[in-house]
Structure 1
């Protein structure tokens, strides 16, 4: 598997490259956002490890541009520690983030977890809920016949709920399904994923028919019939 590292600090980028190669990954390194975007377009990696604070085109701008054309998994590296800043990255389409300073072991664990999640294949075939189709083998979502581009985390939320239609999932349950037992991720992360999914699968995101809120409990996925 190939990891593309986009980090403007040369020493930091080299260190990340060493750790990733020790884990057995092929590594490409770039030092600015524009080149990172060009590299993904030229030869998509299995994972983009993306620093937020870069000169010129920063990491958030890269994610915004990528999500118009690619679902390559993105793990963001950020020195910004406020929850709103971190959720903004997820809202734009990042799959996960690590805040600086981080331990190499933590970062490699996040990389492994995200790559496993992205490349996990299902044995249960596709799932149909009304006009919504979810295919875990192909990692595809379609609604009303059209393809829906989802990040790896968004797909995991949707697939987890689709496997038990009508069941109410708490935010904690969805967090565990998507990110595992990770103290750095908060319940608001799930809210951001749900908001993004509604924009993608619902005719009227403010009046959802598929991805419903159960107040005081969590969320459930239904067939869209309104019954």
Structure 2
């Protein structure tokens, strides 16, 4: 079923100064049901990342405003989402440097859009496989990590990207205390102001949406001056059946669709 595909709701941040390449990649990946956000510089990519909270990052390793390696290292200070480098640089030294800095994969331009889609899918699959659970469930609350979806009593509850990232972080560590500092760095990056006010505002909104009595929370409790603890999940480890349909879909090769020197050649 389409709702079980790994691409559904997955957000990709693309950072590239070449607008023509960005346009072609966006069109190709939107066909795969990914949601694409585009940044035209390294600094813009930094700014967008903390608001978008991407599931995967595609980026060049050469920018006019900063070094690509610096950007990779900055991301690795606060997020473990997969990073795939898309570069014209084919030297093995460039590849080795990027991979050691924290990139997960490296593709040299030009490349076929279906190969890019396959590598994105593979990176997201590995990330899900590394997790202990595919979903969180306690009482009437369920958080589906593969669909990025929250259900309360079987009804979907809508969250902003930041609100979802907070509840996801707590759900993945249910039963244990997650400190304010850990959440601030996880959601807003290592240079976020160590001021929990913004966190408290978001938590108030989250509780209004999932708690029957926000002042006496059932699911997310406050540990004074320390952080938050989410009610321990009763969910069992889930499987990966959702990958089967998507694997077949991504194996289909569309003739005449290449990304070559930034231009997709149409037959």
Q: Normalising by structure 2, what TM-score?
A: 0.45
Q: Deviations over 1:192-214 (max 9, x none)?
A: xxxxxxxxxxxxxxxxxxxxxxx
* Structure 2 Cα separation of the partners of residues 8 and 58 of structure 1: 13
Q: 1:8 is paired with a residue of what secondary structure?
A: coil
* Structure 1 Cα separation of the partners of residues 26 and 105 of structure 2: 19
**Other-structure match for 1:84:** 93
Q: How does 1:43-192 map to 2 (within 5 A)?
A: 43-120=52-129
Shift of 1:59: 2.3
Larger Rg: 2
Q: 2:49 is paired with a residue of what secondary structure?
A: helix
| Equivalent residue pairs, number | 128
Q: Deviations over 1:139-159 (max 9, x none)?
A: 9xxxxxxx9xxxxxxxxxxxx
Q: Deviations over 1:85-116 (max 9, x none)?
A: 10100110011111111111111111111111
Root mean square deviation of aligned Cα: 2.2
Does the 8 A contact of 1:20 with 1:108 survive in 2? yes
Shift of 1:120: 1.9
**Other-structure match for 1:32:** 41
**Other-structure match for 2:31:** 22
CA separation of 1:22 and 1:92: change in aligned 2, threshold 3 A: same
Q: How does 1:184-223 map to 2 (within 5 A)?
A: none
Shift of 1:42: 2.3
Q: 1:120 is paired with a residue of what secondary structure?
A: helix
* Structure 2 Cα separation of the partners of residues 108 and 58 of structure 1: 26
Large movers: runs of 4+ above 3 Å: 121-124
In structure 2, runs of 5+ residues without a counterpart are 1-9, 134-171, 174-181, 183-267
* Structure 1 Cα separation of the partners of residues 68 and 15 of structure 2: 8
Q: 2:103 is paired with a residue of what secondary structure?
A: coil
* Structure 1 Cα separation of the partners of residues 27 and 97 of structure 2: 29
**Other-structure match for 2:21:** 12
* Structure 1 Cα separation of the partners of residues 49 and 121 of structure 2: 20
Q: Deviations over 1:5-28 (max 9, x none)?
A: 111111110100001100000111
Matched, 1:2 2:14: no
**Other-structure match for 1:155:** none
